[in-house]
């Protein structure tokens, strides 16, 4: 391997921000690191996204305790990726909720994803020795599900494939606020290595149809106000399209993965090079775009060895 993955040397700790995005609703953000959400109900609290380790989850819990002493009863996980789910045990919640498809992906590829992500981005696994094992939900659903925290209604929905095939979003109707996971990002690169480029735009349309007043995105700052929400949805759409279209053109003429890499860089570097984790995501995004354009609908499982093989191919 000619050089390390972009994030293997990224050891700079990020500044944590805890923004109120609605009454009893908060976004835990960290300069492009994985976000979490907090929903405070009448008697208890729901966490959206668990973080990668129990130690990192405790940083979310510290923020929760700064605004409420109500117990944490539910953890909702928007998809299966290790950096989102492996810290779930720290919350002591009775209910851990995923979509059916996300649970199936934990079974199919959860350990491989853990091993792969740990190799790629070690800083995000601070305190990894505290992880008790793969996170499995106590409750799953297919298309939609409603949870009540007292009188507060929380709608969980699968609105289409995007970042993974099993993404869900969380909508709080009384404040018209949504937690989108990695379907929407703000000034942060989308990780598309397990994504579905051709569906992503339609899923963004489905989110936009709610005309929400705020979004806690998967990465990047809290999006407060309709203007910020629209901007982030459209910049996410642009990122996804700008990644896929050049790779698809190369694949259509029988070009190589390295040629797709060069074509995507030519299109995306001028627009997105300053986005958080851009260099980290790019090789995986190109590899998945190239695969999808060649008719591979189900993303291939990333393993630590496949990561290295792909990276070697891109280095020429």
Question: Taking 60 as the threshold, does the pLDDT of residue 11 lie above it?
Answer: no
Could you tell me if 28 and 60 are in contact, meaning their C-beta atoms sit under 8 angstroms apart? Answer: yes
Mean pLDDT of 10-21: 84
Q: Give the model confidence (pLDDT) of 165-207 as tens digits.
A: 999 999 999 999 999 999 999 999 999 999 999 999 999 999 9
SS3 95: strand
Record the tokens describing residue 62, joined without a space: 């510290």
pLDDT band for 3, please (50, 70, 90 cuts): low
Express as a percent the part of the chain with pLDDT over 70.
96
- Confidence (pLDDT) at 4: 60
pLDDT, greater one: 102 or 121: 102
Residue 3, φ and ψ in degrees, nearest 5: -155, 165
Binning pLDDT at 50, 70 and 90, where does residue 2 land? very low
Q: Residue 121 — left, alpha, or beta (φ > 0 → left; ψ -120 to 50 → alpha)? A: beta
Is pTM beyond 0.85? Reply is yes
> Is the pLDDT confidence value at 73 over 70?
yes
Mean pLDDT score of the chain: 94
For residue 49, what are the CA distances in angstroms to 74, 169, 204, 293, 299?
A: 11, 11, 20, 30, 22
- Report the pLDDT averaged over residues 221-247: 98
Query: How far is residue 23 CA from its own chain's centroid?
Result: 24
Domain assignments of the chain as residue spans, ordered by start: 16-241
pLDDT digits (tens, 9 = 90+) for 127-173: 899 999 999 999 999 999 999 999 999 999 999 999 999 999 999 99
**pLDDT, mean of residues 260-285:** 96
Banded model confidence at residue 316, pLDDT cuts 50, 70, 90: low
Residue 9 confidence (pLDDT) = 54
Comparing CA positions, the residue from 98, 241, 115 lying closest to residue 181 is 98
Please report which confidence band the pLDDT of residue 52 belongs to, taking 50, 70 and 90 as the band edges.
very high
Mean per-residue pLDDT, 287-313: 93
Does domain 16-241 correspond to CATH entry 3.60.15.10? Answer: yes
User: Residue 32: pLDDT band by 50, 70, 90 thresholds?
Assistant: confident
Q: How confident is the model at residue 126 (pLDDT cuts 50, 70, 90)?
A: confident
pLDDT at 246 over 50: yes
Q: How far apart are CA 134 and CA 60, in angstroms?
A: 20
- Check: CB of residue 35 under 8 Å from CB of residue 29: yes
What confidence score (pLDDT) does residue 186 get?
Answer: 97
Q: Is 80 exceeded by the pLDDT of residue 88?
A: yes
What CA–CA distance (Å, rounded) separates 166 from 216?
Answer: 18
Give the mean pLDDT of 74-87: 97
Higher pLDDT residue, 255 or 9?
A: 255
So what's the pLDDT on residue 75? 98
């Amino acid at each position: 391997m000619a050089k390390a993955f972009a994030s293997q040397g990224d050891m700079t700790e990020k500044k944590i921000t805890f923004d109120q995005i609605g009454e009893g609703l908060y976004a835990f953000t960290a300069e492009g690191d994985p976000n979490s959400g907090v929903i405070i109900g009448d008697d208890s609290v729901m966490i959206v996204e668990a973080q990668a380790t129990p130690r990192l989850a405790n940083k979310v819990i510290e923020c929760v305790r700064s605004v409420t002493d109500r117990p944490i009863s539910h953890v909702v996980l928007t998809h299966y990726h290790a950096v989102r789910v492996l810290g779930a045990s720290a919350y002591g919640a009775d209910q851990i909720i995923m979509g059916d498809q996300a649970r199936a992906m934990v079974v199919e590829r959860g350990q491989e994803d853990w091993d792969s992500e740990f190799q790629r981005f070690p800083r995000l696994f601070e305190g990894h020795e505290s992880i008790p094992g793969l996170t499995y939900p106590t409750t799953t659903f297919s298309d939609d599900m409603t949870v009540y925290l007292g009188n507060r209604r929380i709608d969980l929905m699968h609105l289409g494939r995007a970042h993974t095939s099993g993404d869900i979003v969380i909508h709080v109707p009384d404040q018209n606020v949504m937690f989108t996971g990695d379907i929407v990002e703000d000034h942060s690169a989308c990780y598309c290595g397990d994504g579905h480029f051709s569906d992503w735009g339609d899923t963004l349309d489905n989110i936009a149809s709610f005309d929400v007043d705020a979004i806690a995105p998967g990465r990047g700052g809290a999006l407060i106000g309709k203007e910020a929400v629209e901007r982030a949805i459209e910049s996410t759409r642009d990122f996804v399209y700008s990644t896929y279209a050049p790779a698809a053109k190369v694949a259509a003429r029988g070009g190589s993965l390295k040629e797709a890499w060069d074509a995507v860089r030519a299109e995306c570097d001028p627009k997105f090079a300053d986005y958080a984790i851009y260099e980290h995501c790019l090789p995986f995004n190109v590899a998945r775009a190239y695969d999808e354009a060649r008719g591979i609908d189900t993303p291939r499982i990333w393993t630590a060895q496949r990561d290295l093989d792909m990276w070697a191919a891109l280095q020429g």
